[in-house]
A and B are shown apart, each in its own frame.
Chain A
Amino acid sequence: MKILLITEQRDRKWNKVSFEALAAAQQIATQANGTVSGVVIGQGVATLADELATYELTEVLLVENALLEKYTPDGFSIALKQVIEQAKPDLVIFPHTYQVRDFAPKLAASISKGMIGDCVGYRNEGGKLIFVRQMFQGRTAADVVFQGDGPWIASFQAGAFRADTAAKKQGGKAPVKPASVELKAEQVRTKPLELFREAKQAVDLTQAPVLVSIGRGIRAPENIPLAEKLAKALGAELSASRPICDEGWLPMERQIGSSGQTVSPKLYLALGISGAIQHVVGMKGSRCIVAINKDQNAPIFEIADYGVVGDLFEIVPALTEEIEKSKPA
């Protein structure tokens, strides 16, 4: 059995899961009396190919092209299709990374072959390869087999194999062979921009010493700046009860209560929050609770240290103004 192992790098740095997939490929090959060839794909990645060559491999194929400098699903799948057609493997193994999730199904479809993604293991039963995938959120494992002839494509989940079990070459190195691929600029339909990481949750309400929290009493999203101004004056974060986030007036990470965050700031200002138990369980540990609500029977007043029965649209602007005034110029 001939196995092709496709590694992953970005900016000439390994994605370490590649070596876990390498370990998997080596183990499958050992049991099936097969061979493993490694593939490094990108541009200017010869040093990585040299490094990969120190592992127990038949050869390392170096796939380089200026259009492969940055990852694109078109570029990578078109190039790897040609590599597969040249090398004629029985099995192609990938580490199951986000990038692989993005293009490997496309690659499989382009060669009209099946793919088993996100495997956690395999078994060799009398020469028949059975791949194991988790189903039902890990409650059960399914055995999956390929139908028809290879090349088959499989990817292994991170953590399924240990990278340090990947075998090194005993003496010498595997030969590094360039694999030529033809790629035209017009075939690559996507244009990679700057890489970015989605900003982490911008606010951590649990760390805020002061929270200005709004409820249904705020009535409309147009009125939220009123509370924002007060929050700014107090150096506070803005939070809300469920209905506000449910309406999409504030993002869900600003929700306080049983289905949101639990907070215990020094000061909690509840504006137009009635104080249903679902909200109260998320903020009752606050050091000082100030509630403004026009309904004097609102349950929020039962736990408030200071309660104001009145119209928040009158009180909040006045309060903001007073706080601004009291600040040292």
Chain B
Amino acid sequence: MRRARVCAEASATMTSMPVEREKLEADVLIVGAGPAGLACALRLSQLIEQNSAGGKTPAISAENIYVLEKARELGAHQLSGAIMDPCALRELVPDFEKSAPLDTPVTGDAAYFLSETGSWKLPITPPPLQNHGNYVVSLNRLTKWLGGLVEKAGVNIFTQFAGASLIYEGKGIAGVITEDKGVDKNGKPKDNFTPGYELRSKITVLAEGPRGSLTKNLVNQLHLDGLNPQVYGIGIKELWDVQPGRIETGYVAHTLGWPLDSHKYGGGWIYGLRDNRVSLGMVMGLEYKDSLFDPHEAFQKFKTHPFVRKILEGGKLVRYGAKTVPYGGWYSMPQSCVDGGLIVGDSASLLNSQRLKGIHTAIKSGMLAAEAIYEAMATGDASAKALNAYQNKLEASWVKKELWEVRNFHQGFHDGLWPGLFNAGLQFVSGGRGLTDPARCRPGYQDFRRLERPRELTDQSTRFKGDGTLTFNRLTDVYHSGTRHEEDQPCHLVVSDTSICADRCIREYGNPCQYYCPAAVYEMVLEGGQPKLKINASNCVHCKTCDIADPYQIVNWVPPEGGGGPNYEGM
């Protein structure tokens, strides 16, 4: 057990408060132990070390840096393909190749266009998909390793604790309140009730990944939207153990085309890992017209393509997961510095959607945030103005350069694959400018076409069931995500007005929540002959798709009791 040098002060409170929270004070509080958050913590500890080695008194101590992580253990909610460009990790941990769990270097790559039965290898792999010098990694394992370094440096990482709400102060933030534990499904305290902590912090770093619940709140409250709203894709992944000899270790293939039609943005991947393990999945833009499109089903169909089937046949599903991907790029980046707060990584829209990579930019943004934070702590100024050093550092770094070149990439695909490829080509020769710069976009849910159907449940009996060997239904896949939640707790998918589901959405869009959710959380049922929304919250894999794709924007994803959620071991 680590000792936090915290002097909370006990004093009598005569005011009657509904819940008295314990208070803790930190210098730096990082919400989310992913690549960005952990890189921030590690870089801070390095700066502390460098300063004390140089004979200076460090501006902060590692003990006063806290990291919150909602997962049961480090890495359990980390999901990515994942191919990592090691440039940022090399800056953070120069000898990372000695100890980091890198599955395999990329040994060969190819891009394919698929039709229902055929596959065409592109004569050259497009430059953004060339992966020479990159590594195929398990983000779960990489995160565990990185977290180990952070803990070794003396930083407190609190797994199983989520940031439930932000503490707003003045024009900025002053910390978070962690979630209450031991509350039953009706919101009543149980025997083990423990109120969330009031974690006050001089600087709070939001590193929540895509569609962070606190980040969403902050961006809305303080109007921090970028030029464009954020747009997202959903990534669905399975990990398989296959028969020996089916795919070369380090071989990576990306696909376009089937099962997606040319109006849908997205594609597939198949990566050969060590020990006959295969990572495969699809990423699909959450901006399509057909509200009854089922991304999970599309991915299952993808596996039946001869090109994929011949690799998987005779193999076994090991794990399943789903997570959203922020596609928006530079123009969707929110204002990332406020008084006492910073936003990093995917939460700050720093993913390169053209290269399908965000781990390196996340790590780099965490490092740059750490440098800005250290300076701010040294001068005792944590205002937005002081913290803006982070934004300046980002703009002066290769992150801006890389993202600037693809600033219009995703927007170019709004009208489909072919115009998109044409735009991408134009952007490639014009340094990212393309036809329109800045190219605008709108939230994907606005693309849903109205169905105007009767007020009847959409038939679920014909939904994709899978064959149980190569393809699976959603519940079976959810089982393989290792998702577990305390059952007796308030529903963490807060739908503000379920009458919209039962009266309007049913007619206007056919309740797309039943289709886009890759974990079968949402169901429309009949109760006393009347349609009603039923939420199976314990299936949730924390991908945030519902919060993003709901056409009425009435779904609010909030963190469930800490420790709940998927277990992406090895993913």
A interface residues with partner B (beta carbon < 8 Å): 108-109, 112-116, 134-148, 242-243, 245-246, 252, 255, 258-259, 276-278, 281, 297, 299
Is A144 within 8 A of B8, CB to CB?
A: yes
Q: Which residue of B lies closest to A219 (CB)?
A: B526
Q: Which residue of B lies closest to A280 (CB)?
A: B479
Is B538 within 8 A of A139, CB to CB?
A: no
Which B residues from 474 to 515 make CB contacts under 8 A with A?
A: 475-476, 478-479, 484-485, 487-488
Q: Is there a chain A Cβ closer than 8 Å to B413's Cβ?
A: no
Query: Which A residues are in CB contact (< 8 Å) with B22?
Result: 135
Q: A140-B1, A147-B9, A246-B487 are in contact. List 19 more A-B contacts (CB 8 A).
A: A113-B12, A116-B10, A136-B197, A139-B1, A139-B158, A140-B4, A141-B1, A141-B2, A142-B4, A144-B8, A144-B10, A145-B7, A245-B487, A246-B536, A246-B538, A259-B487, A277-B475, A277-B479, A281-B479
Is B158 within 8 A of A136, CB to CB?
A: yes
Residue from B1, B6, B11, B160 within 8 A of A114 (CB atoms): B11
Is A135 within 8 A of B7, CB to CB?
A: no
Q: Is there a chain A Cβ closer than 8 Å to B223's Cβ?
A: no
Task: Give A324 Cβ to nearest chain B Cβ, in Å.
Answer: 33
Query: Which A residues are in CB contact (< 8 Å) with B10?
Result: 114-116, 144-147
Query: Which A residues are in CB contact (< 8 Å) with B468?
Result: 299
Asked whether A140 and B2 contact (CB < 8 A) given A114-B12, A147-B10, A147-B11, the answer is yes
Q: Is there a chain A Cβ closer than 8 Å to B53's Cβ?
A: no
Residue from A138, A259, A277 within 8 A of B476 (CB atoms): A277
Query: Which A residues are in CB contact (< 8 Å) with B478?
Result: 278
Task: Give A178 Cβ to nearest chain B Cβ, in Å.
Answer: 30
Q: Is there a chain A Cβ closer than 8 Å to B56's Cβ?
A: no
Is A259 within 8 A of B14, CB to CB?
A: no
Query: Which B residues are in CB contact (< 8 Å) with A281?
Result: 479
Q: How far is A136 from B476 in the complex, measured between Cα atoms in Å? A: 34
Q: Which residue of A lies closest to B520 (CB)?
A: A276
Query: Which A residues are in CB contact (< 8 Å) with B2?
Result: 139-141
Is B158 within 8 A of A258, CB to CB?
A: no
22 intermolecular pairs with C-beta atoms under 8 Å apart: A108-B12, A113-B12, A114-B10, A114-B11, A114-B12, A115-B10, A134-B1, A135-B4, A137-B160, A138-B1, A142-B24, A144-B8, A144-B10, A145-B7, A146-B10, A147-B9, A148-B11, A242-B487, A258-B484, A259-B538, A276-B475, A278-B479
Query: Which A residues are in CB contact (< 8 Å) with B476?
Result: 276-277
Residue from A116, A138, A141 within 8 A of B3 (CB atoms): A141
Task: Give A275 Cβ to nearest chain B Cβ, in Å.
Answer: 10
Is B158 within 8 A of A140, CB to CB?
A: yes
Is A278 within 8 A of B484, CB to CB?
A: no
Query: Which B residues are in CB contact (< 8 Å) with A116?
Result: 10
What's the dominant secondary structure at chain A's contact region? mixed
The 9 closest A-B pairs by CB, nearest first: A114-B10, A277-B479, A147-B11, A276-B475, A140-B4, A114-B11, A142-B6, A136-B158, A147-B9
Q: How far is A112 from B7 in the complex, measured between Cα atoms in Å? A: 21
Residue from A112, A138, A145, A242 within 8 A of B9 (CB atoms): A145
Asked whether A252 and B475 contact (CB < 8 A) given A140-B4, A143-B6, the answer is no
Task: Give A246 Cβ to nearest chain B Cβ, in Å.
Answer: 7
B interface residues with partner A (beta carbon < 8 Å): 1-14, 22, 24, 156, 158, 160-161, 197, 465, 468, 475-476, 478-479, 484-485, 487-488, 536, 538
Query: Which B residues are in CB contact (< 8 Å) with A245?
Result: 487
Task: Give B19 Cβ to nearest chain A Cβ, in Å.
Answer: 13
Task: Give A99 Cβ to nearest chain B Cβ, in Å.
Answer: 15
Is A258 within 8 A of B479, CB to CB?
A: yes
Query: Which B residues are in CB contact (< 8 Å) with A139?
Result: 1-2, 156, 158
Query: Which B residues are in CB contact (< 8 Å) with A143?
Result: 3, 5-7
Task: Give A83 Cβ to nearest chain B Cβ, in Å.
Answer: 19
Query: Which A residues are in CB contact (< 8 Å) with B160?
Result: 137
Q: Which residue of A lies closest to B461 (CB)?
A: A295
Residue from B3, B11, B487 within 8 A of A252 (CB atoms): B487
Query: Which B residues are in CB contact (< 8 Å) with A138?
Result: 1
Q: Which residue of B lies closest to A274 (CB)?
A: B475
Task: Give B65 Cβ to nearest chain A Cβ, in Å.
Answer: 13
Residue from A137, A141, A276 within 8 A of B4 (CB atoms): A141
Is B488 within 8 A of A252, CB to CB?
A: yes
Query: Which A residues are in CB contact (< 8 Å) with B8?
Result: 142, 144
Query: Which B residues are in CB contact (< 8 Å) with A146?
Result: 9-11
Is B3 within 8 A of A140, CB to CB?
A: yes
Q: Which residue of B lies closest to A109 (CB)?
A: B12
Query: Which B residues are in CB contact (< 8 Å) with A142?
Result: 4, 6, 8, 24
Query: Which A residues are in CB contact (< 8 Å) with B24?
Result: 135, 142
Query: Which B residues are in CB contact (< 8 Å) with A148?
Result: 11
Query: Which B residues are in CB contact (< 8 Å) with A113?
Result: 12
Q: How far is A120 from B2 in the complex, measured between Cα atoms in Å? A: 14
Is B484 within 8 A of A259, CB to CB?
A: yes
Q: Which residue of B lies closest to A137 (CB)?
A: B160
Q: How far is A223 from B6 in the complex, measured between Cα atoms in Å? A: 56
Query: Which B residues are in CB contact (< 8 Å) with A114?
Result: 10-12
Query: Which A residues are in CB contact (< 8 Å) with B465?
Result: 297
Task: Give B290 Cβ to nearest chain A Cβ, in Å.
Answer: 26
Task: Give A185 Cβ to nearest chain B Cβ, in Å.
Answer: 26
Q: How far is A112 from B11 in the complex, measured between Cα atoms in Å? A: 9
Q: Which residue of A lies closest to B22 (CB)?
A: A135
Query: Which B residues are in CB contact (< 8 Å) with A277?
Result: 475-476, 479
Query: Which B residues are in CB contact (< 8 Å) with A135?
Result: 4, 22, 24, 197
Query: Which B residues are in CB contact (< 8 Å) with A147?
Result: 9-11
Is B12 within 8 A of A112, CB to CB?
A: yes
Q: How far is A252 from B158 in the complex, measured between Cα atoms in Å? A: 29
Query: Which A residues are in CB contact (< 8 Å) with B479?
Result: 258, 276-278, 281
Q: How far is A297 from B22 in the complex, measured between Cα atoms in Å? A: 53
Q: How far is A108 from B10 in the complex, measured between Cα atoms in Å? A: 11
Query: Which B residues are in CB contact (< 8 Å) with A278?
Result: 475, 478-479
Query: Which A residues are in CB contact (< 8 Å) with B485?
Result: 259
Q: Which residue of A lies closest to B527 (CB)?
A: A220
Q: Which residue of B lies closest to A136 (CB)?
A: B158
Q: How far is A145 from B11 in the complex, measured between Cα atoms in Å? A: 9
Q: How far is A297 from B463 in the complex, measured between Cα atoms in Å? A: 13
Task: Give B410 Cβ to nearest chain A Cβ, in Å.
Answer: 36
Task: Give A126 Cβ to nearest chain B Cβ, in Å.
Answer: 15
Query: Which A residues are in CB contact (< 8 Å) with B6?
Result: 142-143
Q: How far is A148 from B6 in the complex, measured between Cα atoms in Å? A: 18
Task: Give A241 Cβ to nearest chain B Cβ, in Å.
Answer: 11
Q: How far is A276 from B9 in the complex, measured between Cα atoms in Å? A: 51
Q: Which residue of B lies closest to A110 (CB)?
A: B12
Q: How far is A278 from B320 in the complex, measured between Cα atoms in Å? A: 14
Task: Give A128 Cβ to nearest chain B Cβ, in Å.
Answer: 11
Q: Which residue of B lies closest to A198 (CB)?
A: B191
Q: How far is A252 from B156 in the complex, measured between Cα atoms in Å? A: 35
Task: Give B327 Cβ to nearest chain A Cβ, in Å.
Answer: 32
Q: How far is A299 from B479 in the complex, measured between Cα atoms in Å? A: 15
Query: Which A residues are in CB contact (< 8 Å) with B7?
Result: 143-145
Q: How far is A135 from B197 in the complex, measured between Cα atoms in Å? A: 9
Query: Which B residues are in CB contact (< 8 Å) with A242?
Result: 487, 536, 538
Q: Which residue of B lies closest to A279 (CB)?
A: B475
Task: Give A252 Cβ to nearest chain B Cβ, in Å.
Answer: 6
Is B161 within 8 A of A136, CB to CB?
A: yes
Query: Which B residues are in CB contact (< 8 Å) with A145?
Result: 7, 9-10
Q: How far is A246 from B487 in the complex, measured between Cα atoms in Å? A: 8
Q: Which residue of B lies closest to A260 (CB)?
A: B487
Task: Give B91 Cβ to nearest chain A Cβ, in Å.
Answer: 30
Q: Which residue of B lies closest to A243 (CB)?
A: B536
